[in-house]
Amino acid sequence: MGPTKKELKKQMELLRKQQEEQEQEDSDEIDQEEEDDFEEGDDLDGQDIEDEEEHDDGEDLEEGDDDEDDEDEELDEDGEEIPKLQPNSKLPRKLPNDKSDDEDEGDMEAKAKEQYMMGLKGQPDQAILNMKINDILHILSKFKENSKDGRSRQSYLEELTEYFMQYYNYNRDLVQLFMTMFNPNELVQFFESNEQQRPLTIRTNTLKTRRKELAQILIQRGVNLDSLAEWTKVGLKIYDSKVPIGATPEYLAGHYMLQSASSFLPVIALAPQPNEKILDMAAAPGGKTTYIAQLMKNTGVLFANDVKADRNKALIFNVQRMGINNCIVTNYDGRKLNKVIHNCDRVLLDAPCTGLGIIARDPSVKATKQLIDVQKHAHLQRELILSAIDCCKKGGYVVYSTCSVTVQENESVVDYALKNRFVKLVDMGIEVGEEGYTKYQDKRFDPQLKKTRRILPHVHNMDGFYVAKLKKLENGPRVTKQEVVNDHLDAMENEDVENVNINNKNKKSDHKLKVQKGQQGVIEVTANGEDYDWNEEKEQEKIEKTEETDQKENEEQSKQAKKDQKKPKGEKKAQNETQVKKQDNKQVKKESNDQANGEKKLSKKEKKLAQKAQEKKEKQNNQVKQQDEEENVEEEVEEKPAAAKEQKQDKKNGQKKQNQKSEQKNTEQVAKQPLNKQQEKKEQQKPQKNNNAQKTENEVEEEVEVEEKAEKKVKDFKGKNNNQNNKKFNKFNKHQKNRPFNKQQGKHQFQKNKKVKTE
Ligand SMILES: C[S@@+](CC[C@H](N)C(=O)[O-])C[C@H]1O[C@@H](n2cnc3c(N)ncnc32)[C@H](O)[C@@H]1O
């Protein structure tokens, strides 16, 4: 039975009223936001809300938009506490898809009817939605058993998405995004935890007081508090208070900072030390900066940077309030900071992000943040993290953190840094949190990502956060093999052979290809192989061997690390230093292997062009020397066959010794076995003197070949038929002259000879 006309009219009336109330509330909210705007001198603290604010910053930067997100500041001008957390309510006042403004009578009538039929009064029935959600969760938990209506899993998931959107008031993008990270049951827990208020937390400023003293004073003022957690000695959690926590005399005197528990972690991971040079790349309003300074004991130099000049006001205020005097506040785009600040011992990048880990503190993101925002932030974060690494010294540390739970803004960014810079992930000494993801959808991240930490609101009862600690192993960009190849080929394609320098530096590091930073198209190729001859098999063997050794070393290291945890502090430190050195060496070794690998792939094209360059040089040299050589030619020709014989003889001597036993065997065997046709033929071809049972057949063949070749070359030369041969021959003779002979080994020193040749 449908509703009567009277009932419908009543329903419409009710809707109209609700709409008016809603509009009134909205306009009140806007007024409030304007009042709260930082520009008007409201909050100068903001340390706890800093993470809520950060999510728009990346965009603002791109769009030149400023500070529209400061409405979440915690205190007003007089230090009155503004309730930071929205009241918990899963009942939306206004659904995201409501089009309440332009509805006409017909629409409203239909809507009223629909709502009436559903038993709703202006809003979806939460109880019914809840029930439906639970039903689907039940079906999905044991899909084969529980699904009886022949529907696909996907269609249930789609229905569930709709219910989640309505029940928890998220937009579709976000529900779908979270569904890629959590299974449906976990997702419900995540959504639920975002509806919970968590106790306010503060951090004691140990530059001015001690936690115990602070706690006593606050208790006297009527604050109900407790220590925050086992992993911090400076944190306190406030259950309730008779006084505004952001306006006590202790607060104004800088004895503490309002700061979320999760926000402690990046600084703990950074582990700042006194007298160091540290950079906080995205610092405003200074929650973490002031903690870093405190751990540095107000010594050394701390650069606190933020791209937003306005937010820097709050940063400066906090730095002054907390009595910090080792801090320089700068106002740069973090992406360009690497051109200004270098060689820092440690860098913190508490990156601007979507804030999708702190929804409980800023429920507005449920409706406002979309996938495109995640992608935009991820892009900015990638640029910032590379810059942060570039500001750090070799051997220094970079901590990357966000207050988002999305993989795109976290693991994906760190994985990108691992691929593009010489860094590795290290343990952070943080007990709390879950391992970072190494798999996400079709992506596979570096296994090291396990060392990063995810703090999840539904698991750890803290704001969602992500922390990663990187150690910088080497300066400069890590150029991927493919990039090296591409760059090199680009240079080659431009026929820019002038820029390809083939230097024989006589290093033992074999082929080494290096793209020099900042010199586009200039590639330095160092090689000690003769004329770029690449012995594929040998090199592959070497690479495989090194990889094996690396793997073994890694395993040993992790075993050692476990042992080290039990060692006393001093011993640990010394051990760490040795490990750092070892790791550095290993990295350099790996780099050269990677580069070797890259070069290996350079293929024929590169070889040809490199040869071209070499030939060009040789031509020039030859032209100058040609006259000279022609004069000396007769002399050299006479020396040449002797030199060739000498060389062959040396080789044979060496070989003879090595093969003596096997030769003996071979000869015996040959003598015993009936000769086959081929052998017979060879035997017939052999000159008399080679019918020596001590020599192998190969040797004999080689000798004949050498002699034949030598004779041919002499003929060619004497007849002066071939100019090319002429040059080669002269060069060959010259080398023979220069080749020192190692009497002991009975060998010419090939390595030196190569050097002479290339030089
Ligand atoms: C998460 S907040 C920082 C919170 C701060 N670390 C703290 O603990 O109080 C992110 C900050 O990044 C800043 N930011 C955004 N884009 C930036 C950029 N390109 N360079 C430097 N800072 C940037 C924002 O202005 C914002 O203050």
**Band of pLDDT at residue 727, cut at 50, 70 and 90:** low
The pLDDT, as a whole number, for residue 742 is 47
Q: Give this complex's ipTM.
A: 1.00
**Band of pLDDT at residue 566, cut at 50, 70 and 90:** low
Q: Containing H/E element for 304?
A: strand 301-305
Cβ(307) to ligand 1 under 6 A?
yes
Q: Is residue 417 annotated as involved in ligand binding?
A: no
Q: Is residue 719 annotated as involved in ligand binding?
A: no
Question: In this structure, are residues 312 and 331 in contact, taking their beta carbons and an 8 Å threshold?
Answer: yes
What does the domain layout of the chain look like in residue ranges?
125-195, 199-259, 261-478
Q: Is residue 355 annotated as involved in ligand binding?
A: no
Beta bridge partners of 238: 200, 225
The pLDDT, as a whole number, for residue 149 is 81
Cβ(311) to ligand 1 under 6 A?
yes
Give the mean model confidence (pLDDT) for residues 579-597: 46
Q: How far is the CA of 350 from the centre of ligand 1 (A)?
A: 7
Q: Which atom of ligand 1 is nearest to the CA of 348?
A: 6
Looking from the CA of 187 toward its CB, the CA atoms found within 13 Å total 23
Q: How far is the CA of 378 from the centre of ligand 1 (A)?
A: 14
**Band of pLDDT at residue 651, cut at 50, 70 and 90:** very low
**Band of pLDDT at residue 479, cut at 50, 70 and 90:** confident
- Where are the strands (E) in 458-540, listed by range? 465-477, 500-503, 512-515, 523-526
Give the mean model confidence (pLDDT) for residues 604-623: 64
Averaged pLDDT score across all residues of the chain: 69
Which of 74, 292, 307 has the most ligand 1 atoms within 8 A of CB, as the residue to mutate?
307
**Band of pLDDT at residue 336, cut at 50, 70 and 90:** very high
More reliable by pLDDT, 137 or 610: 137
Annotated catalytic residue within 327, 353, 392, 403 = 403
State what percent of residues in the chain have pLDDT above 70.
Answer: 48
The pLDDT, as a whole number, for residue 730 is 54
The answer for residues whose C-beta is within 8 angstroms of residue 450's C-beta and 6 or more apart is: 435, 436, 438
Look at the domain 261-478 and name its fold. Answer: Rossmann fold (3.40.50)
- Alpha-carbon distance of 753 to 647, in angstroms, equals 13
Q: Is residue 110 annotated as involved in ligand binding?
A: no
- Alpha-carbon distance of 540 to 358, in angstroms, equals 50
- Alpha-carbon distance of 192 to 3, in angstroms, equals 35
The answer for residues whose C-beta is within 8 angstroms of residue 481's C-beta and 6 or more apart is: 594, 597, 598, 601
Q: How far is the CA of 529 from the centre of ligand 1 (A)?
A: 51
- Alpha-carbon distance of 181 to 437, in angstroms, equals 10
**Span 199-259 CATH architecture:** 2-Layer Sandwich (3.30)
Cβ(283) to ligand 1 under 6 A?
yes
Q: Which atom of ligand 1 is nearest to the CA of 47?
A: 9
Cβ(350) to ligand 1 under 6 A?
yes
For the question of residue 344 being annotated catalytic, the response is no
Question: In this structure, are residues 423 and 473 in contact, taking their beta carbons and an 8 Å threshold?
Answer: yes
Q: Which residue has the tokens 């340390």?
A: 47
User: Residues 664-708: pLDDT tens digits?
Assistant: 444 344 334 433 444 444 444 443 333 333 344 455 466 556 656
User: Residues 81-102: pLDDT tens digits?
Assistant: 322 223 333 433 333 333 333 3
